[in-house]
Amino acid sequence: MKKKIRVKTPKGLQTPQSRRYFAVILSVLLGVFISIAIKQNDQPELLTSVREDELVLILDDLSKQKDSLEIELLKQTQILESLKSGSGDEARKAAQNRIDQLILLSGTAPVSGRGIQVLITGDVYSVNSFTILDTVQELRDAGAVAIEVNGVRVINSTYFTDTNEGISVNNTKIRSPYKLLALGDPETMSTALKIPGGMSETVTTSGGNVIITEFPELEITSSVPLTTPEYADSVID
């Protein structure tokens, strides 16, 4: 059975203050749903000029929307009641899952799980910044959720450039051998890198070497520091 990627983050939102925030948000949502339902049943006089067959279609569409809104209203009411009673496990779990996803995307914390190590060696003629970028893209396409290159965490804003001494990752200079760690399904990622005409074949035919090793447990310790927003301020005290 595949192990889930473990994200090292604090526990979910479990404070009374967090429950109050959720309750306020859900209360607003309930008000919106109710307002929409009322407006949909309050059609203007323009409907008097609509043909009978068109009215049937409009009525059918409104009935479907009403049923959908009632289901959503019931769902949100149940969540609101669970928050009021202090047992918002589902809401906290959903919030924590979202936080974990954001951490993976932003690279702000170490992560661990199943994955692969890709060791690429070669001179400037067989390995350059495009080679590393191509490897990262192939890993992402294969489902990699976190990537590290020579100790540098790779996120959406990461860029690679060529230098006289090797390759630069976000202005951090690295040299061969280039070691990439990627978390995800090992078999899928390994297969993606070995497809004909892919990164592995391109490097080896140019005189370089690629070694791919699968791991049942792999840890990426590098992270990207959080930055202070320049134009935004928190509205939560």
Do residues 137 and 80 both lie within one domain?
no
- In three-state secondary structure terms, 10 is coil
Do residues 99 and 184 both lie within one domain?
no
Do residues 194 and 177 both lie within one domain?
yes
For the chain, 237 residues long, give each residue's pLDDT as a single digit of tens: 433 446 443 333 344 445 555 555 555 555 555 555 544 444 444 455 656 766 677 677 677 777 878 887 887 777 667 666 655 566 677 667 667 777 777 788 899 999 999 999 999 889 999 999 999 999 999 999 999 999 999 988 899 999 888 899 998 999 999 999 999 999 999 999 999 989 999 999 999 999 999 999 999 999 888 777 667 666 654
Do residues 52 and 92 both lie within one domain?
yes
For the question of whether the overall pTM of this predicted structure is more than 0.85, the answer is no
Distance CA 60, CA 67 (A): 11
Of the three residues 81, 103, 125, the one that is the final residue of a domain is 103
Do residues 13 and 80 both lie within one domain?
yes
Nearest to 74, CA basis, from 22, 106, 29: 29
Supply the range of the domain harboring residue 52.
6-103
In a domain, 150, yes or no: yes
Distance CA 213, CA 119 (A): 8
Structure tokens at 135: 């490897």
Do residues 163 and 216 both lie within one domain?
yes
pLDDT at residue number 70: 83
pLDDT at residue number 47: 54
Do residues 80 and 51 both lie within one domain?
yes
Domain CATH code at residue 190? 3.30.70.1880
Distance CA 146, CA 101 (A): 11
Nearest to 120, CA basis, from 179, 168, 175: 179
DSSP states of 83-95:
HHTT--HHHHHHH
Of the three residues 64, 79, 103, the one that is the final residue of a domain is 103
Do residues 65 and 131 both lie within one domain?
no
pLDDT at residue number 60: 72
Do residues 114 and 215 both lie within one domain?
yes
pLDDT at residue number 203: 95
Q: Report how many domains make up the chain.
A: 2
Of the three residues 43, 71, 103, the one that is the final residue of a domain is 103
pLDDT at residue number 29: 54
Do residues 145 and 191 both lie within one domain?
yes
Do residues 71 and 167 both lie within one domain?
no
**110 preceded by a cis bond (ω within 30 of 0):** no
In a domain, 234, yes or no: no
Identify the DSSP state of 135: H
- 152 beta partners: 149
Nearest to 62, CA basis, from 47, 78, 76: 47
Do residues 97 and 162 both lie within one domain?
no
